[in-house]
Structure 1
Amino acid sequence: MPAFVVLDSISLHTPDSRPLFDELTLAIGRERIGLVGRNGCGKSILLRLIAGEVEPSAGSIHRAGSIGVLAQIADERLTV
């Protein structure tokens, strides 16, 4: 199965220069995957990198097709 998204040697740092990813290489196909980790370890920022919302400090991202994002923020007006 060909890769849908390929991250090649991705590096990303926080605004205070703390490294989140260094030389991360990953290929994702069209299968379902899970992303698991502690709070604050960079899961959301990795997804934002894949979606193209954030640019890496180094490395490249290749996407085949389009990527959709569903924000998981609840609208307080809808809470009962």
Structure 2
Amino acid sequence: MTRFLSTQGDYSLLQCLKPCSRQSFYEARPYIEQGVPHVDPQTMEVPSKHVPRCPRCGGPMFFCVRGGEWFIESAFDDQRHRYHDFVRRA
């Protein structure tokens, strides 16, 4: 069980930048593993066809971290509820 609250987000998740849904966040690892073989060793760039796209809407994705109004806080609802329960019991 997670014993912390990630109020600013988590780089282990990607999310839709639109966002198209409160549930459009995903584990980042599979997307990163798919992209790594396509990184150009000279420029360190990934061709656009290998940049992660949202499975729901096809839009661009980014790490699920607080950086704009697109941040999906619902990705951390379980953590937030556990934290508030802990505070109530303390």
- Higher RCO, 1 vs 2 (CA within 8 Å, ≥6 residues apart): 2
- TM-score, normalising length from structure 1? 0.29
Between structure 1 and structure 2, the one with the greater Rg is 2
TM-score (norm 2): 0.27
Considering fraction of residues, name the structure with more strand: 1
Bigger helix fraction: 2
